[in-house]
Amino acid sequence: MTFELTKDYLEHIQTAIDASDDTLLRAEMEELYPADISGILYELEPEPAHYLLGLLDKSVGSEILANLDPADRTNLIKTFTSEELAPFINQMDSDDAVDLLNEQPIQVREEVIGLLEDREQARFILDLLHYDDSVAGGLMQKELIKINVNLTVNACIEEIRQQAEEVENVYAIYVVDDVDKLLGLVSLKKIVLARKNAKIADIYDDDVVFMETYRPVTEVAEVMRRYDLDAIPIVNIQQRLLGRITIDDVVDVITEQAEEDIQVISGLSGEAEEDDSVWKRSKVQLPWLVAGAVGSLLAATVITGFQSELGKVAALAAFIPIIGSTGGNVGIQTSSLILQSLTDTSGLSISLAKRLFRTLLVAIINGLVVGLIAGTYTFIIGEPRLFFVVATSLLAVVLLASFMGTVTPLLLNRIGINPAVASGPFITTANDLIGIGVYFLIAQWLLAEV
């Protein structure tokens, strides 16, 4: 049955913690999955959360710590001594252990590594610490199963039994030579079906996809997505096998990228969380709000320059909102498609001329439909003389906004500016100015006799 964390249950756990009722707490936690316990820890203060975590089996506690949100985990770890933290690190996969230790002060990091009982784990962590978390080396884990190409199947099975004790998920058996150079991989199915005296050299597959330690994690995620891989081996420049990256770590990367994209689309200039301080949230949101305000003020200046037209036909003011919003919506929609194509490295690039031609056809259809709908509305409100003004203006605005939405991210990308961050504010501000200017110029021209 799915666990549901309620206020009453949380109070029940808090009361047991206050009373130091270890027996009750252990019994309650044994009934829950690690993810459910994580949900409880998020709701507790660091000290009670520390107490509860200390009652758990170290393997369960290490899994929970590895998957906690980094900000919450940092606050929780502050309550631990190095001696208390080391047993949890000892149980983690090396990549998760490095992620956690990189969040700690250097003194704590070195103390914990020195206290680890598993010295191989300590060596793995030291190997990984010097990699940046933006490259494959920083994402890989050292735990894997590798066998020498010269072994027989029978010897290979015994080697797998020994190595598998340290590996949580076995996706593939990697085949290496005497200097650990990656040669290929062999599936468990082939090993099970092969004769005991058969050589691994005769049954392994040398067609293996791998990545070097210096490759960006985004590239790793794209390769794993493209080839539908559960894990990918990581090698150094000499193609010696160093570790592997598993699908769960890649999912984390993809999730982080999606969250960043959502924040950019929402007009946030950096990472922001709902529970951040007032000043931090304001600092993140303010730049784009200021940019939008400046754009609106400039648009107001444009409107002021056409006061004579508004004086002649006051109903023109009623259509200013639809001009601005339509241009902004079309620009953002078009730029979103371009941004998506820029991040998709799996396909062939499309020429600028072809992009513009497609955009023109779509814009003509959309502009005609929206223009006719808005133009029809002029008859409803008793201003039929505005039909051609509104319909023509919307067609022109849709065409211009589509052009801006196509060209702007491509130009920003060409000159080295992140188009995901800069395109939105630039396009909406430009469309406000151009759209309203075009609207009043068309009105001035078509209503000249008024």
Q: For 405-416, how does the pLDDT look when each residue is reduced to its tens digit (9 = 90+)?
A: 888 888 877 877
Q: For 203-239, how does the pLDDT look when each residue is reduced to its tens digit (9 = 90+)?
A: 999 999 999 999 999 899 889 988 889 899 999 999 9
Rounded mean pLDDT of 357-366? 86
Do 375 and 339 reside in the same domain of the chain?
yes
* DSSP-derived 3-state class of residue 383: coil
Contacts of 412 (CB under 8 A, 6+ apart): 418, 419, 422, 423, 426
Q: For 2-48, how does the pLDDT look when each residue is reduced to its tens digit (9 = 90+)?
A: 788 899 999 999 999 999 999 999 999 998 999 999 999 999 999 99
Segments forming the whole domain that contains residue 215: 146-251
Answer whether residue 259 is part of any domain.
no
b/e per residue, 62-97, with b = 16+ CB within 10 A? bbbbbebeeeebeebbebbebeebbbbbbbbbbbbb
Instruction: Examine the fold and report which residue of 251, 286, 317 is the final residue of a domain before the chain moves on.
Output: 251
Do 175 and 219 reside in the same domain of the chain?
yes
Task: Evaluate whether 253 touches 217 at the Cβ level (below 8 Å).
Answer: yes
Rounded Cα gap, residues 134 and 42, in angstroms: 27
Do 212 and 289 reside in the same domain of the chain?
no
pLDDT at site 347: 47
Which has more pLDDT, 323 or 141? 141
Do 387 and 296 reside in the same domain of the chain?
yes
Q: For 43-85, how does the pLDDT look when each residue is reduced to its tens digit (9 = 90+)?
A: 999 999 999 999 999 999 999 999 898 888 999 999 999 999 9
Rounded Cα gap, residues 207 and 43, in angstroms: 48
DSSP class per residue in 148-194 = ETT-BHHHHHHHHHHHGGG-S----EEEE-TT-BEEEEE-HHHHHHS
Q: How far, in Å, are 93, 314, 404 from residue 210 at the CA level?
A: 20, 67, 40
Task: Give a three-class secondary structure readout of 305-350.
Answer: CCHHHHHHCHHHHHHHHHHHHHHHHHHHHHHHHHHHHHHCCCCCCC
pLDDT at site 443: 83
Do 224 and 161 reside in the same domain of the chain?
yes
Do 409 and 286 reside in the same domain of the chain?
yes
Rounded mean pLDDT of 359-384? 87
Highest mean pLDDT among 257-271, 281-295, 332-346: 332-346
pLDDT at site 169: 79
Answer whether residue 304 is part of any domain.
yes
Q: What is the CATH number of the domain that holds 410?
A: 1.10.357.20
Do 150 and 231 reside in the same domain of the chain?
yes
Q: How far, in Å, are 72, 421, 426 from residue 283 at the CA level?
A: 21, 16, 19
Angle between helices 34-43 and 70-77 (to 10 degrees): 70
Q: What is the CATH number of the domain that holds 71?
A: 1.25.60.10
Do 285 and 394 reside in the same domain of the chain?
yes
Band (pLDDT 50/70/90 cuts) for residue 261 is low
Answer whether residue 247 is part of any domain.
yes
Taking all residues of the chain, what is their mean pLDDT, rounded to a whole number?
83
Domain count, the chain: 3
Do 228 and 79 reside in the same domain of the chain?
no
Rounded mean pLDDT of 336-345? 67
Asked if the model's pLDDT at residue 114 lies above 90, the reply is yes
Answer whether residue 191 is part of any domain.
yes
Cα 260 to chain center, whole Å? 6
Rounded mean pLDDT of 281-288? 62
Do 117 and 221 reside in the same domain of the chain?
no
Answer whether residue 128 is part of any domain.
yes
Q: What is the CATH number of the domain that holds 243?
A: 3.10.580.10
- pLDDT cut 90: percent of the chain above it: 40
Do 46 and 70 reside in the same domain of the chain?
yes
Listed residue (62, 109, 107, 67) closest to 89, CA to CA? 62
Q: Which two tokens stand for residue 359?
A: 């955009």
Do 153 and 282 reside in the same domain of the chain?
no
pLDDT at site 208: 92
Instruction: Examine the fold and report which residue of 251, 268, 301 is the final residue of a domain before the chain moves on.
Output: 251
Q: At which residue do the structure tokens 């200017």 appear?
A: 437
